[in-house]
Each structure stands twice: as C-alpha cells, then as structure tokens.
Amino acid sequence: MTATAPAPLTGPVVIVGAGITGATAALTLRAEGYAGELTLVGDEPELPYRRPPLSKEVLSGALPPARTLLRPADSWAEQRVDVRTGTAVTEVGVAERTVLLADGTVLPYERLLLATGGRPRRLPGTDGLPGVHRLRSLADADALRGTLSAGGRVLVVGAGLIGLEVAATARGLGCDVTVVESEPQPLGRVLPGAVADAVARLHRSEGVEIRTGVRLERFERRDGRVVATDDAGGTLTADTVVVAVGMVPETALAERAGLKVDDGIVVDAHGRTSAPDVHAAGDVARGPYGPEGQLCRFEHWFHAQEQGAAVARSLLGSPDPYAPKPWFWTQQYGNNLQVAGAPQDADTLEVDGDPTAPGRLDFAVRAYRDGGRLVGVVCANRPKVFHGLRAELDAAR
C-alpha cells in the first residue's frame, strides 16, 4: 500500500463506474479546481442516476425513470466530463497507466478511480429461470415493475433492506407477498433485535407473510410458476420471485490488474489501492473504519457519495483521511427508518417510544456497548431527533 501523497494532478483522470460514487468524484474534482481531462465510464446505458428509488418509487411507478437522473444530460458537457455510457472496461494496465474499453479504445490516465460497485448475489438454479428477478439497475426495476403490476403471488428471498422495500412496494401494488429469510430476524445484520421485530410486525400488519430461519435450496418452473424448495422439503409457489440476498463487490477488473482484493478492493484512508495512482471508492472499496482501523466495506448510498467526494479530494492532494460515518434510511409503508453506526452490535438499548406499539412506527433508540459506549442510533419517523442523535454518535466515536 503506497503511503505518500499524490503529486499535483494535471494529467487525465479516468473514473470507472458511473454510479453515485464515480459521479460525485467527477463533480468534486471540477468543483475543487481540477481542469484536466476527465472521463467517466459506465457499463449501463443510462447517465448517472439515483438507485435508492428503484425499490420504492420507480418500482411502484410513482417516479418516472427519467427523474432519477443525478443531473440533466447537458450539464455533464458543461462540466467538461466525458461520460461514456453503455461502455465496459475490460482491462487496466497499471504499468502503462491505461484503461482498455471493450470497443478497443485505450484511455491513458494519471490517476484512476475504480468505483465499480457490485452485482446482486445469485442463488444456485435461478439464473435464466423465468419469473426470477434481481434488483440493481433501472433495467431490473423496469422488468420487475412489469410483472408486479399484474399482481399475483410474490416470493421475496432475503429480508434485508432491498428485500423488505420490494415487499412493501409489491404489497402496495396488491400482490400477495411472502418474505423468506435464512436468519432469525429480518434486518438482523443491521438492526438490534427490538427494532428488527418492530419492522417485522409492521410488514405482518400489512399482510406480508415473513418466514425466518428458512433456507431455500432448489428453484424450478412448474405449470407456469416458480416453485422453491427449502432444506426441510417444504415448497413455496409464486408467480414472481425476487432474489435479494445481498451484493458481491465487482472486483474482477481489479483482480486482473493485480490489485489487492479481499471482499472488495483494499484501500487506505485516502482510497489508495496497492497500485500506484489507482484509487477505489464506494461499494467496492474495503478500507479502515473505527479507532482500531479494521477493514470494512459499506454498501450505503450516503457512504458511497461521501467517499467519492473524499477520494476525489485525495486525488488532488488533500492530506485529510476519509473517516466513514455510515448511516442509511429506508421507507416502508410510509414509515421512515433512519439508522447510523452499528446498533446491531449493542448489548444495551435506551428506547424513547414503544417499538411494540401497533400502527405507525414512532421511536428513537440509542444503542450502547461495553459499559455505555454509544455505537449506534435508530429513529422511526423522527428525522429531527435523528439529526441530533447522529451528532451525538459522531462525538462519541
């Protein structure tokens, strides 16, 4: 891992990945005064857009895809950012400082930022099976919206953020929805038990069936529907299956380039990889977090945005390290749940409100560990309170 700050940047910058991380990095470079050649390469056909609405407003049809764009199309030219959509990068030449595109174009770089994000984790036997969907892109949302609008029975595999947002949206469209989760609780990896239970009760009150501790082992097509079989031999039949079992960091390009990879591209606090003048940020990057500097990878929108900006400033020579302050939000059935830190690691909770109360969620949680150290906060429909609790959490870190 290189330890020296980069030299002043004047030559070309190439950013691979046109999601929020790459787009934010490009705009930050311009805002901070970089005047050189700047190319943003993305393999999706769309200009940079916001992903959070995909499982909610876009999937329900409330928000047209065109309104998810981060910026108007002509603004990228105004910022002198060469955005190349629908373009795959096939190789990175670290020694040559070049990027090879699928069409044979070679782009030289002085600095390279890999913001390749991730791809949905797949389940054996589901690839190419009619009726099985994943949700990562606008194209995915468009295909899934078409089948949900027809109603019918929907099976969501995975009770994480995306899975539960899809379940809530599908229920709002009138579908019969079952959610299957292999863990004991929905959202158990990111929420303390009492809050996870509150979210599960909310879904059940809306008519969603949630089955936990269930592992699906086989999927097949029978009589025009998908049949899923669990490890106990039980079956679930659905018109539509949505696989939402997490994301795999997209590291293939980095691996071929010889970069250090370990559940993501390993970076330091400035986003620097094991190769000179190659940086990484966003969902694909695994960097230091917390007082002990353990390597972590975060998959949240605001982290991707903030790290993209921070690494752009590092490209320009900023000595300030990036210190992640992860937080996220989710909207389900009109409820806004906001989470910061690692509340799932708590051994003690301080709760204001009643998570067990029926109806609209309304509570705030401070999560403590190891004798009273604040490690996370959660708020349900209390955005002003959450702002204050985030500041309290940041001060405690």
CB neighbourhood size of 319 (10 A): 8
Length of the chain measured in residues: 397
Residue 257 CA to residue 306 CA, distance in Å, equals: 26
150 pLDDT higher than 70: yes
| The two domains 13-119+248-315 and 334-396 share their CATH topology (first three levels equal) | no
pLDDT of residue 329 exceeding 60, the answer is: yes
Q: Which fold has domain 334-396?
A: Enolase-like; domain 1 (3.30.390)
- Is residue 58 exposed (0-12), middle (13-18) or buried (19+ Cβ within 10 Å)? buried
The model's pLDDT over 166-201, given as tens digits with 9 standing for 90+, comes to: 999 999 999 999 999 999 999 999 999 999 999 999
Quote the pLDDT of residue 3.
47
Task: Count the neighbouring beta carbons within 10 Å of the beta carbon of residue 139.
Answer: 12
- Whole-number CA gyration radius for the chain: 22
- To the nearest whole percent, how much of the chain has pLDDT over 90? 95
Return the structure tokens found at 190.
């990111």
358, two tokens: 């029926």
> Domain segments of the chain: what residues?
13-119+248-315, 122-245, 334-396
Task: Tell me the whole-structure pTM to 2 decimals.
Answer: 0.94
Mean pLDDT to the nearest integer, 109-135? 96
Q: Is the pLDDT of residue 397 over 80?
A: no
d(CA 372, CA 348): 8
Tokens in use for 165?
């947002």
Question: Which of residues 311 and 290 earns the better pLDDT score?
Answer: 311
Interval 250-269: pLDDT, tens: 999 999 999 999 999 999 99
Residue 2 has pLDDT above 90, yes or no: no
Give tens-digit pLDDT for 61-79: 999 999 999 999 999 999 9
Instruction: Report phi then psi at 381, rounded to 5.
Output: 60, 35
Average pLDDT over residues 226-234: 96
Q: Which two tokens stand for residue 24?
A: 């934010």
Instruction: Tell me if residue 36 falls in helix, strand or coil.
Output: coil
User: What is the CATH class of 122-245?
Assistant: alpha beta
Mean pLDDT for the chain overall? 95
| pLDDT score for 162 | 97
Q: Looking up tokens 């019918």, which residue turns up?
A: 152
* pLDDT, mean of residues 279-305: 94
- What strands, in cross-sheet order, belong to the sheet with 225-230? 216-222, 225-230, 235-238
- pLDDT exceeds 70 at position 245: yes
Q: Indicate the Cα dihedral angle 28, 34, 39, 41, nearest 10°.
A: -20
Q: What is the pLDDT of residue 8?
A: 77
Q: What is the CATH number of domain 13-119+248-315?
A: 3.50.50.60
Task: Give backbone dihedrals phi and psi of 117, rounded to 5 degrees, phi first.
Answer: 65, -135
Average pLDDT over residues 336-359: 96
The full DSSP string for 322-340 is: P----EEEEEETTEEEEEE
Q: Which residues contact 117 (CB under 8 A, 6 or more apart)?
A: 17, 19, 21, 249, 250, 282, 283, 284, 304
Please tell me whether residue 236 adopts helix, strand or coil conformation: strand
**At 243, is the pLDDT very low, low, confident or very high (cuts 50, 70, 90)?**
very high
Confidence of residue 4 (pLDDT cuts 50, 70, 90): low
Across residues 211-236, what is the average pLDDT?
96
